[in-house]
Structure 1
Amino acid sequence: MHVLILGGTTEARALAGLLHDRVRVTSSLAGRVASPRLPAGEVRIGGFGGPEGLAAWVREQAVDAVIDATHPFAERISFNAARAAATAHVPLLALRRPGWVPVDGDDWHPVASLEEAARALDGLGDRVFLTTGRMGLAAFAACPQWFLVRSVDAPDAPMPARTEILLDRGPFTLDGERELLARHRIDVVVTKDSGGAATAPKLTAAREAGVPVVVVRRPPVPEGVQTAASPEEAAAWVFGPGGAQTRSS
């Protein structure tokens, strides 16, 4: 059996580790990070050329099942995967870590997009901790606030005129996030609802400091695609009764 895992997320790497001793696993990484953490099994880097290219690759490589374990905000590849799986007639699963849930004391401001997040900053604060990654900074380019932008790799222009870049990779600690907010005098945080524990400490630190958080809601999974909330659930989908392995045999 050959399983294609799309994505370089923590969950994708964990899933590859669970599967590679039992089936052939190929993990496909987008190539946007200069030094990605590589999963177990085979790895390919780069795009497929849209849903048609992905469907052709699935057929050529005799892929039996596709698992979309991309970042919750990788909307384009998720929809390409849904179209490609339907075209190639292979089962598809979306592995999505649960989103964050506010607790007492949180001052969250949910928005639907980065552009809406930029507009929401007016009146919330003048020193912004922007943790949405290096893509999409153009949405904030016209903002007058000062920004601390944290990302794994250096972002490209356009970006806000008053920007300090912090190159770092999670997981992050609560003590570290507390110190960062205090040292940079942050008075508003902007984040995507990525979910997971690796970057969640910033939310606790913001709550403790009374700092508002602008939270960009995640896009929906393509209609009709089955989902799993953990690598273990995804592995059970592959090997369980009626799972992908059964359907491919």
Structure 2
Amino acid sequence: MTVPAKIPLYRIVEKGVGSVLISAEEIHGFFLDEDDTEQREICLTGVKEGALTRQRIERGELEVVNFRQQRIGMYDLGRVRLHPVSDPEDVQRSYSFLGYTCEYPKAGDIWRRWAAVEPLQYGEWARLPVGDRSSWLHVAQNSWFSALREPVRYGESAIVAINGRFIADKCSLFCALGEAVNGPGGYFGSNLDALADSLSKTRQASPISRVVWSELSTAREMAGGEFVDSVIGLFREFGVEVDSFETR
């Protein structure tokens, strides 16, 4: 995945107020591996100040914005105290704070791709290393709910096609399913409970009648046969037929 040139990608806002306190090109120390539990300073660089009148915020939010400066993602930070860490005469300053972190280390790179001018394309998630696909799924879910979308099918076709060739783990399956149902970057569950919720709401709003699943054997091998059978069982529980075929 090619990461575009930097654009202002993050902004700190006060929850319930909405005014932008600062915006920044980049954030460091926020997207970390889940095993990294050490508390550390989170640094925002390339900062431009907005309505920042005090450095302590009781209910802070970190927003991710696209090239139009529209919100595409959001993280609740709780109480934060911003510390300037560069010369106040600099045009673009840096701030740091202590607070919550995100356990998906590649999410920052993926957010920048989502924020770019070029629309997301089919299959981008499948070109990522397998270990990075959980970060893609996280971004898809976060973006979906930040846009106040329901976990339902927004497309018109009652038939969904899934290519099992690129399903290398459980996260891959949900990336493939979200894209198959709702297009590039789409979301349709991130675990079995969320999939059941999505299918339940979709059946009420705009039912799916059939899933056509190619290379099902590959998905079984890579994501686990029991897990794939649970997914298929959920489809059938909600009245969705599942047809499979192999091209090899």
TM-score band by shorter chain is under 0.3
Give 1 or 2: higher strand fraction: 2
Higher relative contact order, structure no. (Cα contacts within 8 Å, ≥ 6 residues apart): 1
TM-score when normalising by structure 1: 0.24
TM-score when normalising by structure 2: 0.24
